[in-house]
Structure 1
Amino acid sequence: MAGWHWLFGDQLGPHFLAPGERGPAPDAPVVMVEARSVFRRRRFHRAKAHLVLSAMRHRAAELGDRVRYVRAETYADGLRRVAGGAPVTVHHPTSRAAYELVGSIPGVRVLPARGFLLPQAAFRSWAGGRERLRHEDFYRWTRRELGLLMDGDEPAGGRWNHDRANREPPPKGPRTLGVPAPYRPREGDIDEEVRADLDRWERDEGVRFVGRDGPRAFPASRREALAALRRFVGHRLAGFGPYEDAVLAGDPVMSHSLLSSSLNLGLLDPAEVVAAAEDAWRAGRVPVHSAEGFVRQVAGWREYVWHTYWYFGEDYRHRNALRHRAPLPDWFLELDADAVAARCLSTVLAQVRDTGWTHHIPRLMILGSHALQRGWDPRAVTDWFHRCFVDGYDWVMLPNVIGMSQYADGGLMTTKPYTSAGAYIHRMSDLCDGCAYRPADRTGDRACPYTTGYWSFVHRHRARLAANPRTARAVRGLDRLGDLDDVLRTCREQGRTPP
């Protein structure tokens, strides 16, 4: 036997077994390891554990006799049990910890990463010599490199970025956007087996989870992922663009694709996903601003996050430019939405509790913004997002939280902190309707925690924010507040209990 090829649990699509100069041998037997230690050392969302294990076992069932699927305490134990001293190949893992692990095992050869659009060397070449890395610059360069949504040398529709058309507040009145429902899979015997195993782990082995494990809501097989992609492109992409930044309490999915977990499990290749969106636009089935908004999420931000994770190095996770060190409160750690009075935060926390998912604006402007305003430790916030979201992996959450959400890198990834007072949430959602707080109130019993938190944040970091052209206006607004002391006092009082 020439050797084994090792598939991690986020390398589940056919492109991870495609042979070639930079791929595994075409006849290589496959080993997959289900490592219990992963679930012992961290308290993951139960729906996430269910999805990952279901997806791994679905892939093993597809591979049949070609795969040896082993359940072990650790990856190294499982690999040793199957491969012994035989040579092993594996595609570049997605986390630094896994990369260091495979590098420490004799006989394991690391192949180039798959599941992304551009090689790391290409990103390093683009980034080299730049004083600042900006997503918009990277996105345009990627579009040119790949010929993606281009008309010759010009961007499709005459603009690189259609944000102006893609930032509409939700329509007034309806509680839902009224678009066709997303694809939802049906559970089978494998899901029943996984759920029984998780029950036994909790009952007999001391493994602890957070959140609820309802019927599986996300694809766990290549067939299901392709069905979800077809459903989104054929029925939902056309309405995606205008309201991609809006939030409705009764419609947490709206027009979003729900494809992030399939991409991050490796069930879908991003190249086929963006090609499907572009083909739909060229066929006249979707407007250019919707196609561009979705392509920007996949070929722009997802790709940018992957490359910056490796480019910034291991020290990036320890960055804390704002010196935020407050611990996460128990109600947040436990996803206790019922303890929270602020309707926006309670609604979104309940979505995470029940499904392990919410779209990018609640993540950034409700969950992340609250953590930033309260000065929570960015490493703890990163860990929470990693554990509690079905699409959360180290490479995903580290740049998204340290850089984008918590501004802990001091501006390496973004030009400003992303936080706001309650007015933004009121404008972009219906979450303020019926809330115990009023978004415009800064003091008193009905003061919005996001409004008091925003001005407290600006006050704490006024010197840094005053020096940034994108945030200097907020400092000038702070100086015009005649009740700042009362606002800060209200914020401190609110911080003693769930908002």
Structure 2
Amino acid sequence: MSTAHWLFGDQLGPHFIEPGDQGPDRGAPLVLIEAKSVFRRRRFHRAKAHLVLSAMRHRAAELGDRVRYVRADTYREGLREAVGQRKVTVHQPTSRAALDLVSRLPQVEVLPARGFFVPNDMFRTWAEGRAGTKLRQEDFYRWTRHRLDLLMEGDAPAGGRWNLDHDNREAPPKGARTLGAAPPYRPREDEIDKQVRRDLDRWEREDGIEFVGRDGPRLFPASRREARAALARFVEHRLAGFGPHEDAMLAADPVMSHSLLSSSLNLGLLDPWECVEQAEDAWRAGRAPLSSVEGFIRQIAGWREYVWQLYWYFGEDYRDRNALGHHEPLPDWLLELDADAVTARCLSTVLAQVRDTGWTHHIPRLMVLGSHALQRGYDPRALTDWFHRCFVDGYDWVMVPNVIGMSQYADGGQMTTKPYTSGGAYLNRMSDFCTGCAYRPTQRTGERACPYTAGYWSFMHRNQRRLADNPRTVRAVRGLERLSDLDQVLQEEAARREQAP
């Protein structure tokens, strides 16, 4: 009998069961384990729990008799029920906790990770070959593009430039409520979804398992067929308009031209290779401009891959980094996704998007949610856990580098060159959130002072010694000297820290 192969709930695509030199045996029996303990440990967004369980059960239905689908309290119990003490293989799980679990089980053989472009040991060799220099995403992205022959013309990048980000920073169209892009693919729920919802209701009622946020209808793919349909629709109808307004935000149009493929990639329903290849094919066929295609490919082969590699390279203690000494507990309105408790229109709007869908695109995550948390000094580890639990595409490997390194600068610049925060002027330029808001982006003091503007200067003042030596923040630090009302800004901001913004 072939050695069974264990699939975790984020290893659901065909590339996780294809045989090879370091893969399962051809035709090996498969195991999927639905462990209820996962949902007891954290208070997940209900839509996320629904999506993960729906995706696992859809995959089991597709695989038929080849898979043993076990519902158990823990992974250990589920594995024992599925295979007893027999040997089993599994591709490297995507979290340190899961890897630690399978590594301690003597019957489990851990195979190399799949679903990424670069093996971890190859990245380590690249990183260690850069001793004395910072590990910057741009350098890694160029190395990856060249190595994979991705969007290249010989040894040169297509179009003569590696990065077209400068072309992709347009503000939203003036006066527009929506970007006018073709709507994204949305799946239809089926009987599996109905059963998942009944089970989650029962868990809440009988097992005391708690969730946050709203659930339904399901907005993201839960099967390989749905994920491929979502990719095809994006490439054919939305990719061309993706680039220019990639960083823009509109209150009535949370999806803009974004792909909405992150949850499918992170569930393993899509292989990143097929995403970047289809995008490049669209450019070469003249169906999408290079700036949009490069921006999309950079998100997957650049940023996503970079985050995955840094999660393993930086080590387990990276999640505990707190270079700025931030220890404020997360407020109840954030933990409960209570958008109605928040006055600032930008933050209330984005929080409502998370509450209702478990998703918002990367700029609201960084420059609305993350920037606010950075200014208020929220504990970065607690914030990382919040992002992990509350986003449908959030996993430990995704959120530890993104929050600790990118969003909260808690590693002191190990991953990025500056803290990512701004005053209200940036939000006013890149969104329509300030229209109709009770606050004014230009005001630092008084009842109508923008919490982002006041918070920005408070953050700069609190960290001026550290940031004065950083070429990317020294001008902002010097700007403190020109604020005649700085003392009042700091006094009012200190009083506001106890309130919802």
With structure 1 as the length reference, what TM-score do the two structures score? 1.00
Q: 1:35: which partner in 2?
A: 35
Give, as a single letter, the amino acid of the residue that structure 2 aligns with 1:233. Answer: V
Q: 2:269: which partner in 1?
A: 267
| Secondary structure in 2 matching 1:236 | helix
Deviations 1:148-195 (A, max 9, x none): 000111111111010111000000011000010000000000000000
Q: 1:347: which partner in 2?
A: 349
Give, as a single letter, the amino acid of the residue that structure 2 aligns with 1:143. Answer: R
Match of 1:243 among 238, 245, 249: 245
Give, as a single letter, the amino acid of the residue that structure 2 aligns with 1:452. Answer: A
Q: Does 1:155 align with 2:178?
A: no
Give, as a single letter, the amino acid of the residue that structure 1 aligns with 2:71. Answer: R
Q: 2:81: which partner in 1?
A: 81
Give, as a single letter, the amino acid of the residue that structure 2 aligns with 1:337. Answer: A
| Secondary structure in 1 matching 2:217 | coil
Looking at structure 2, the residues matched to 301 and 418 of structure 1 have their Cα atoms a distance apart, in angstroms, of: 16
Looking at structure 2, the residues matched to 362 and 296 of structure 1 have their Cα atoms a distance apart, in angstroms, of: 19
1:75-154 superposed matches below 5 A: 75-130=75-130, 131=132, 132-154=134-156
Looking at structure 2, the residues matched to 157 and 352 of structure 1 have their Cα atoms a distance apart, in angstroms, of: 37
Q: 1:300: which partner in 2?
A: 302
Q: 1:65: which partner in 2?
A: 65
1:278-317 superposed matches below 5 A: 278-317=280-319
Given that residues 2 and 87 in structure 1 are in contact (C-alpha distance below 8 angstroms), is that contact kept between their aligned partners in structure 2? no
Deviations 1:79-128 (A, max 9, x none): 01111111100000000000000001111000110000111111111101
Q: 1:397: which partner in 2?
A: 399
Give, as a single letter, the amino acid of the residue that structure 2 aligns with 1:89. Answer: T
Looking at structure 2, the residues matched to 62 and 363 of structure 1 have their Cα atoms a distance apart, in angstroms, of: 34
- 1:129 CA drift (Å): 3.7
- 1:493 CA drift (Å): 2.0
| Secondary structure in 1 matching 2:328 | coil
CA RMSD of the aligned region, Å?
A: 0.6
Q: Does 1:465 align with 2:454?
A: no
- 1:252 CA drift (Å): 0.1
| Secondary structure in 2 matching 1:6 | strand
Match of 2:203 among 194, 197, 201: 201
Looking at structure 2, the residues matched to 285 and 318 of structure 1 have their Cα atoms a distance apart, in angstroms, of: 45
Q: 1:426: which partner in 2?
A: 428
Deviations 1:226-248 (A, max 9, x none): 00000000000000000000000
Give, as a single letter, the amino acid of the residue that structure 1 aligns with 2:312. Answer: W
Given that residues 261 and 390 in structure 1 are in contact (C-alpha distance below 8 angstroms), is that contact kept between their aligned partners in structure 2? yes
- 1:2 CA drift (Å): 2.7
Give, as a single letter, the amino acid of the residue that structure 2 aligns with 1:474. Answer: A
Q: 1:2: which partner in 2?
A: 2
- Count of aligned positions: 499
With structure 2 as the length reference, what TM-score do the two structures score? 0.99
Given that residues 342 and 437 in structure 1 are in contact (C-alpha distance below 8 angstroms), is that contact kept between their aligned partners in structure 2? yes
Looking at structure 2, the residues matched to 472 and 481 of structure 1 have their Cα atoms a distance apart, in angstroms, of: 15
Looking at structure 2, the residues matched to 27 and 349 of structure 1 have their Cα atoms a distance apart, in angstroms, of: 45
Looking at structure 2, the residues matched to 404 and 35 of structure 1 have their Cα atoms a distance apart, in angstroms, of: 31
Q: 1:441: which partner in 2?
A: 443
Q: Which runs of 5+ in 2 are unaligned?
A: none
Looking at structure 2, the residues matched to 352 and 233 of structure 1 have their Cα atoms a distance apart, in angstroms, of: 25
Looking at structure 2, the residues matched to 230 and 80 of structure 1 have their Cα atoms a distance apart, in angstroms, of: 40
Looking at structure 1, the residues matched to 320 and 497 of structure 2 have their Cα atoms a distance apart, in angstroms, of: 25
Looking at structure 2, the residues matched to 473 and 185 of structure 1 have their Cα atoms a distance apart, in angstroms, of: 48
Looking at structure 2, the residues matched to 139 and 478 of structure 1 have their Cα atoms a distance apart, in angstroms, of: 35
Match of 1:356 among 347, 355, 358: 358
Q: 2:21: which partner in 1?
A: 21
Q: 1:186: which partner in 2?
A: 188
Looking at structure 2, the residues matched to 176 and 288 of structure 1 have their Cα atoms a distance apart, in angstroms, of: 23
Segments of 4+ in structure 1 off by > 3 A?
Answer: none
Looking at structure 2, the residues matched to 265 and 8 of structure 1 have their Cα atoms a distance apart, in angstroms, of: 9
